Amino acid sequence: MKIAQFYEDNSIRMGLIHGDGLIPVTFDGDMVDLIKCGELPGTQGKSISLDHVKWAPAVTRATKIIALGLNYKDHAQ
């Protein structure tokens, strides 16, 4: 099962990716809240074509950001 966050009417919602569509779910919260909850929410509405989805970041409340400068050596020389 694939879970994603997407934009709808200037807010971030969650949905289940199923085939070539995304089905909105009934859940008040973000990805972190869903993981803490431990239960899958129910679906709401009809499937939206993936071509028409405006994707949101997978995690909107990240507690850490880790980056790696792959070109740092070239830059330092």
Q: What is the pTM of this model?
A: 0.73
Which pLDDT band, with edges at 50, 70 and 90, does 73 fall under? low
Look at the alpha carbons of 15, 16, 22, 26 in this order and tell me if their dihedral is positive or negative.
negative
CA dist 43 and 60 (Å) reads 21
In tens, the pLDDT along 14-60 reads 999 999 999 999 988 888 898 898 888 888 889 999 999 999 998 88
